[in-house]
Amino acid sequence: MKQESAFVKKLLVYFKGYRKDCLLGPLFKLLEAALELAVPLVVADIINRGIAEQDKGHILKMGLLLAAMGLCGLVLSVVAQYFAARASAGFVRGVKSAAFAHIGKLSYADLDRLGSDTLITRMTGDAAQVQTGLNLALRLLLRSPFVVFGAMILAFTVDAQAAWPFAVTIPLLLLVVFALMLFSLPLYKRSAQGLDKVTGRTRETLAGVRVIRAFCKEEEEKKTFDADANALSRLLVKVGRLSALMNPLTYVIVNAATLLLIYTGALRVDAGALSQGELVALYNYMAQILVELLKLASLVITITRSLASASRIAALLEVAPSMTYRDAVFDKNEKSDEAVVFEDVSLRYAEGGDEALTALSFSAKPGETVGIIGPTGAGKSSLVNLIPRFYDASAGRVLVAGRDVKDYDETSLRRGVGVVPQKALLFAGTIRSNLAWGDPDAANDDAALYRALEIAQVADVVKSKGGLDAVVEAGGKNFSGGQRQRLTIARALVANPAILILDDASSALDYATDAALQKALGEALTDTTVFTVSQRASGVMHADKILVMEDGVLVGVGTSQELLASCPLYREIYETQFPPEKAAMEGGERHA
């Protein structure tokens, strides 16, 4: 509980700019509450003077006063709602912006550890819950106690002897409210964790729906989801039952106090010590206390859930990035003897068990094309992810342009190393805006953009779509898989990087398009070091150097001809894709 409070306190900085709203919202609500507390006194006066003395003029005057008080209360309530909504929405906007920016600073290893489902839940559901709780808190957190204690004080000013049930009722109600809050807070936190699990399961199922259907695993996935959903449902029912005790308990206590008040007040009215109007005022104050405590009970439940959500968001902001950067600048135009060097490099993923890469050593010169091939799970993507420092090596050193990759600042390193990942991803916007991710300065340079498109073999597609300003839907859904891959290659080429990584970036292309792409890359990128990851021998045959990977170990290095003679694994991959007769024909053609 103390840790959660400390986390929540760290969020207070995001109230900057909304402190005035946080003061004005409750202030106007308190003014409205003051008017509400005056209503029973006006009603008592109407009964004691207007009705008892049959003074219609007084009744009309007091009635108009009540109407004016109601209108003023409405205006004050609307103004309070405006400031509360402005403060809560602005606060959550700041928190979400900070959380989004913080997530962008986390390394791949941090994101793997946290899980995308948790991050999505905290940025959406938790943030919405915090906004709702803060809005209600600004309007009711001071108002409800003010009305409750104000009603009790005014009741004692009306008649101290008849008002004693107030002094017993209010502490008892507060005890019930805060006891239920104490027990429900941990349960709300557990329910949020359960929601993370269900969200993750849903996201995983939607992402892999085609695979699930292909292997007829619908029923199995449904059972797994039902198990997670039922566990969350049972927890929510438990929390709901606990929260549901709030209303009946408060009703019982307040109604019992009302009976005592009416009984005591009736005796004093009969004895002439209390007027009928004063008894009605006391009853109205008890009714106000009931209404406000029901509001407070509901508010406590909402605030309890909001505090649990706020602590989860604050805990996310407390996650320190596992990678730190230094101030060395990677100049992609600077010449060096070695573009990339791996010195006895090993990689173990967080909580991943065995090493993904083991003792890798090789080098790549500027302008050299390096092919990386091997079976699925061999560690090919893990290897290239170390070059732009998406992950840090757990042992050994990765050198880029003669300097340890850990010495560079993040911006210059990422701009100097172009990466085309396995999953081709485009963003909602236009083709121009997507290509400009590579270099914002090239956004208005159509010639540079079309040059990158020509090299990537996708210029004709862009022209058929209507040009650079053609619309791109989220994820590039209005393009085929091969078109998306070629557009992501063009995006990387626009940046003119010193090192280009193609992580199985042509897997969706046919052999003819792939061959044309490799030829264009070879002709255009004479000074760029290119790493090509592929499971097809045809994708790496042209490379100056080929790295053959198996189970995270480098089992062969050399040209295609050298590896055919010295590396059984490469020869097996090659002969699987090129039957001996075809390989002989292609070999003869190449020699010719």
pLDDT in tens, 304-349: 778 888 888 888 888 888 888 888 888 887 888 889 999 999 998 8
316 in Cβ contact with 119 (< 8 Å): yes
Residue 376 Cα distances to 530, 533, 571, angstroms: 21, 11, 16
In terms of pLDDT, which residue wins out, 590 or 266? 266
Q: Map out the domains of the chain with their CATH numbers.
A: 2-318 (1.20.1560.10), 340-423+498-591 (3.40.50.300)
Grouping H, G, I as helix, E, B as strand and the rest as coil, residue 419 is strand
DSSP state of 401: T
pLDDT in tens, 206-254: 878 888 888 888 888 888 888 888 888 888 888 888 777 777 887 788 7
How many beta carbons lie within 10 A of that of residue 456, not counting itself? 28
- Comparing 86-95, 111-120, 581-590, which segment has the lowest mean pLDDT? 581-590
Q: For residue 591, is pLDDT > 60?
A: no
Which span out of 170-174, 268-272, 449-453 was modeled with the highest average pLDDT?
449-453
Of the given ranges (181-185, 423-427, 473-477, 543-547), which has the lowest mean pLDDT?
A: 181-185
| Pairing mode, strands 499-503 and 417-420 | parallel
Distance from C-alpha of 107 to C-alpha of 102, rounded to nearest angstrom: 10
Measured CA angle at 167 (ends 164, 171), to 5 deg? 155
Residue 478 pLDDT: 87
Mean pLDDT along residues 409-417 = 89
Q: What pLDDT is attached to residue 584?
A: 47
Structure tokens at 411: 């911006």
**Contact call for residues 477 and 531 (beta carbons, < 8 A):** no
Would you state the structure tokens that stand for residue 73, as one six-digit string? 């209360």
- Please tell me the least confidently modeled range out of 5-14, 360-369, 446-455, 486-495: 5-14
pLDDT of res. 592? 37
Instruction: Please report, to the nearest 10 degrees, the dihedral formed by the alpha carbons of residues 581, 584, 586, 591 taken in order.
Output: -160
* pLDDT for the residue numbered 531: 93
337-361 burial: b if 16+ Cβ within 10 Å, else e: eebbbbbebebbbeeeeebbbbebe
Question: H or E stretch including 342?
Answer: strand 340-347
Q: How confident is the model at residue 351 (pLDDT cuts 50, 70, 90)?
A: low
Q: Which of 385-394, 495-504, 506-515, 516-525 has the lowest mean pLDDT?
A: 506-515
pLDDT, greater one: 582 or 440: 440
Name the DSSP class of 557.
E
Tell me which H or E stretch contains 196: helix 164-207
Radius of gyration of the chain (CA): 35
Query: In whole angstroms, what is the distance from residue 279 CA to residue 281 CA?
Result: 5
374: left (phi over 0), alpha (psi -120 to 50) or beta: left
- Coil, helix or strand for 549? strand
Beta partners for 472? 429
**Interval 160-175: pLDDT, tens:** 777 788 778 878 877 8
Instruction: Say how far apart CA 517 and CA 273 lie, in whole Å.
Output: 101
pLDDT score of 251: 78
Mean pLDDT for the chain overall: 85
Q: Which amino acid is at 334?
A: E
Record the tokens describing residue 521, joined without a space.
Answer: 């890359």
Contact 455, 524 (CB under 8 A): yes
425 Cβ contact partners less than 8 Å away, ≥ 6 residues apart: 475, 476, 484, 488
Q: Find the farthest-apart pair of alpha carbons in the chain and give their distance in angstroms, rounded.
A: 124
Contact 420, 489 (CB under 8 A): yes
Out of 195-204, 460-469, 496-505, pick the least confident: 195-204
Q: State the pLDDT at residue 588.
A: 44
Q: Which secondary structure element, helix H or strand E, spans residue 225, and what is its range? A: helix 218-244
The answer to whether the beta carbons of residues 493 and 442 sit under 8 Å apart is no
Confidence of residue 112 (pLDDT cuts 50, 70, 90): confident
Calculate the CA dihedral of residues 553, 559, 565, 569 and round it to 10 degrees: 30
Q: Choose the weakest-confidence range: 207-216, 424-433, 561-570.
A: 207-216
- Residue 134 and residue 131: Cα distance in Å, rounded? 5
**Taking the alpha carbons of 576, 582, 587, 589 in that order, is the dihedral positive or negative?**
negative
